[in-house]
């Protein structure tokens, strides 16, 4: 997992390197454990047993029952299954979804898919720090609302939501509640009873596990239609042969999170705050995006006046530093981040947003290096 220091990785929110312990857990499956978990012979039973061990580890992470964890292929698939599956299974007349303007596109695009099929969707706006007001959620709900979906912590600006209060409002109004916990899983408690959620999405590769493994928590009694058919896997909720090696890695990654979370968070929070202080004291025209205190311990998202974000990222890349932006390139044009626009930033500031996300290998020296490169790049671009 050791990265070359000439290539400084500060994009852990996009994906994390595979932890050595996870690699070790996956290796025997990749080498010898080729059985199909749906087969009844010995090889199939061994694969099923390995999956069940990982399902139990994920259930422990969530403080949930083993039977409430369903494997998918990604966080995106989990979000799609939660939204589309729940809305398709909703009672007659319950055709309204409430979500927010700052969700990941896995949720927003699923909401748009539902709209095209005559479901009603309401998008709730955040405040300037990315907080979603429970009162605004309540105002958006109607007697037709079947589901409320609000992400646990924002993938771009790191703001953490008051999920428990929002879920309470959803339930009081007769709706189910889903949260996208893909970004929060390595850092925040995912106790599903404390969060009061009916559905929760998360995945392996944001928590030092492999790509290709996601999961959806579905509380017992929650109705949900499959959106992928063709087999009886995952108790007929998600057809398709399971990626056993990735699932085993997912389980091991979850075990490491439970063991390391408190220590990792203390260290990352100190590094995050140090990095923000360096940026704000050594550069002019810096705007910190997101809630200053109520944010993920590894997230630093800033807008830089007079700078175009994608160009800055290319300059940083040439300097050996990997960071990211919320901007998306479409047909040769750069669109400002929908999250930064939703919190009220101008097009120019939204387009200048850059996200640095820290991880287990990030050091204070790394941040000093990143700040120096950033100062050099920004000053050159502002000339």
Q: Give one DSSP letter per residue of 71-108, joined into a string.
A: EES-HHHHHHHHHHHHHHHSPTT--EEEEETTS-HHHH
Report the distance separating Cα 180 and Cα 156, nearest Å.
13
Q: Which of 296, 290, 285 is nearest to 344 (CA)?
A: 290
Q: Which residues make Cβ contacts (< 8 Å) with residue 98, sequence separation at least 6?
A: 121, 122, 124, 137, 140, 141, 145, 147, 148, 149, 170, 175
The residue from 329, 344, 347, 379 that is catalytic is 329
Report the distance separating Cα 146 and Cα 234, nearest Å.
24
Q: Is there a catalytic annotation at residue 203?
A: no
With beta carbons less than 8 A apart as the criterion, state whether 353 and 325 touch. Answer: yes
- Strand-pair partners of 147: 97, 176
In the numeric block, which tokens belong to residue 138? 């309540």
| Burial grade of 72 (CB within 10 A; 0-12, 13-18, 19 or more) | buried
Catalytic amino acids?
A: 329
């Amino acid at each position: 997992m050791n990265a070359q220091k000439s290539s400084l990785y500060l994009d852990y929110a996009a994906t994390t390197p595979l932890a050595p312990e996870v690699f070790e857990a996956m290796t025997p499956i990749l080498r010898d454990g080729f059985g199909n978990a749906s087969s009844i012979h010995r090889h199939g039973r061994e694969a099923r047993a390995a999956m069940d061990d990982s399902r139990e580890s994920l259930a422990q992470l969530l403080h949930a029952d083993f039977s409430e964890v369903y494997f998918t292929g990604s966080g995106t698939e989990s979000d799609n299954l939660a939204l589309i599956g729940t809305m398709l299974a909703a009672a007659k007349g319950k055709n309204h979804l409430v979500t927010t303007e700052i969700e990941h596109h896995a949720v927003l695009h699923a909401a748009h898919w539902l709209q095209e099929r005559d479901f009603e969707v309401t998008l709730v706006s955040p405040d300037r720090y990315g907080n979603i007001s429970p009162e605004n959620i309540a105002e958006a709900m109607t007697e037709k609302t079947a589901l409320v979906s609000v992400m646990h912590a924002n993938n771009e600006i790191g703001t953490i939501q008051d999920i428990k209060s929002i879920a309470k409002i959803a339930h009081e109004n007769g709706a189910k509640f889903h949260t996208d916990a893909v970004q929060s899983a390595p850092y925040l408690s995912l106790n599903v009873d404390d969060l009061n959620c009916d559905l929760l999405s998360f995945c392996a590769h944001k928590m030092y596990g492999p790509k290709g493994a996601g999961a959806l928590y579905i509380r017992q009694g929650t109705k949900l239609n499959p959106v992928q058919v063709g087999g009886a896997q995952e108790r007929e909720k998600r057809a398709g042969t399971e990626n056993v090696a990735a699932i085993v890695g997912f389980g091991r990654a979850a075990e490491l999170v439970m063991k390391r979370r408190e220590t990792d968070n203390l260290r990352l929070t100190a590094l995050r705050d140090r990095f923000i202080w360096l940026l704000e004291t050594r550069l002019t025209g810096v705007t910190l995006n997101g809630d200053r205190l109520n944010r993920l311990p590894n997230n630093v998202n800033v807008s830089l006046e007079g700078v175009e974000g994608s160009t800055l990222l290319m300059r940083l890349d040439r300097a050996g530093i990997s960071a990211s932006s919320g901007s998306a390139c479409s047909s040769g044009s750069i669109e400002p981040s929908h999250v930064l626009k939703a919190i009220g930033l101008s097009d120019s500031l939204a387009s200048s947003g850059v996200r640095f996300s820290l991880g287990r290998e990030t050091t204070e020296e790394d941040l000093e290096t990143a700040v120096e490169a950033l100062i050099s790049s920004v000053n050159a671009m502002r000339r």
